[in-house]
Amino acid sequence: MNERNDIYYIDEVKNGNRNAFGVLVERYQDMVYGLAYKMMRNESTAEEIAQESFVKAFRSIHTFKGSSKFSTYLYSIVYNTAITELRKKKIHATPVERIEVEPEEEQGVHQEFFNLKAEERKKYLDLAMSKLSPEEQVMMTMFYYDEEPMDEIALVVGLSTSNVKVKIHRSRKKLFKELYVLLNQEIYSLL
Amino acid sequence: MKKHNREEQLIREIMKDDTPKKAPKSFSASVMNRIALEPLPMKNVYEPLITRKGWIILLVVLISTLIGLFLVFGDSQGATGVGGMFGFIGHGTNQLIDVVSGAPIGVIGILFGLSGLLLFDRLLSSRAKKVQANHTV
């Protein structure tokens, strides 16, 4: 039923049909809530941030020119709203210890990871991701899970494309280190 | 490069498990309840009274009028070289000030008020453009 593209519904809202915004909410609610949760790590705060982001998007929809995707526009609103909230609460990511993971060990991390059951894999990945900064988490999810191009990610986090590329590379290393530590802890706890 | 590509491939496979948390069932309804209380978004925040083209035309008319007045009131008799040109401009300016100072105070007030309003309009339109640029992705 909702086969029409985002621009159609955005134009409808601009022309005064506020119900058309409901289609966009339905379409992007999981993406917006998921991102808010990833950054806030708390269900009620994530819901508040996600709702606030949709209201902000509605208020400023007349400024959306369509030069980027609507999802990028939404992502940037959620990201900025969450960052403002995190600054208010002064929440910082835990720094990752400096552990060098050798290429063979990276392969080992990968094998051990896929030996786990799906729900365990999700648990460990969530734990490892939570050690990254909110900015790094957003970039990693957008690039590897949503498969967004780097220039769209740059628009969301307000950095240059080359800077995003460097940061994703560093975040990837950090994630490997975190998974390596977590999976080793798992092995030691079994012994 | 080979190592980088392999690492990239490994993390890409691992990240496939990074499924986002789903929104609660009542989420969409809650958002739409809040949207119902919001005023409808305005399509155009502010349209300037005089467009850029209008300002150019106004400027051309003003400069032409000033040149015309200088030609009418300026005393060019015996004016040669740079000194003569300055004398011509000086004389023209004096004549122009005499004409303006002779004008009724109401007319001067209207002209000042109109200029002030036009500048205010220009200021509002540039502010609206800045706000729009900040919100546009």
Judged against a pLDDT cut of 50, whether residue B136 lies above it is answered with no
> Per residue in B27-41, pLDDT tens?
999 999 999 999 887
pLDDT range class, residue A78, cuts 50, 70, 90: very high
Judged against a pLDDT cut of 70, whether residue B77 lies above it is answered with no
- Dihedral angle over CA of B126, B58, B91, B94, nearest 10: -60
Confidence at residue B83, expressed as pLDDT on a 0 to 100 scale: 64
Q: A103-190: same fold as A6-89?
A: no
Please answer yes or no on whether A30 and B18 come within 8 Å at the CB atom. Answer: no
Rounded-to-integer distance, Cα B116 and Cα B121, Å: 9
Mean pLDDT of chain B: 76
A85's tokens: 């909230």
Q: Which of A181, A191, A47 is nearest to A127 (CA)?
A: A181
Amino acid identity for residue B107 in this structure: V
B10: chain A residues, CB-CB within 8 Å: 106-107, 109-110
- Report the CATH fold assignment for A103-190: Arc Repressor Mutant, subunit A (1.10.10)
Rounded-to-integer distance, Cα A140 and Cα A155, Å: 15
Please answer yes or no on whether B15 and A63 come within 8 Å at the CB atom. Answer: no
Nearest residue, CB atoms, B137 vs list A32, A43, A76: A76
Domain spans in chain A, listed from the N-terminal domain onward = 6-89, 103-190
Rounded-to-integer distance, Cα A116 and Cα A46, Å: 28
Q: Which of A168, A140, A138, A173 is nearest to A156 (CA)?
A: A138
B47's tokens: 């349209």
Rounded-to-integer distance, Cα A142 and Cα A153, Å: 7
A176's tokens: 């490997």
Who contacts B89 (Cβ-Cβ below 8 Å, separation ≥6)? B70, B74
- From A184's Cα to the closest Cα of chain B, the distance in A is 17
> Per residue in A103-135, pLDDT tens?
666 667 777 777 778 788 888 888 888 889 888
Give CATH for domain A6-89. 1.10.1740.10
Work out the widest C-alpha separation in chain B, in whole angstroms. 92
Neighbour tally for A85: CB within 10 Å: 18
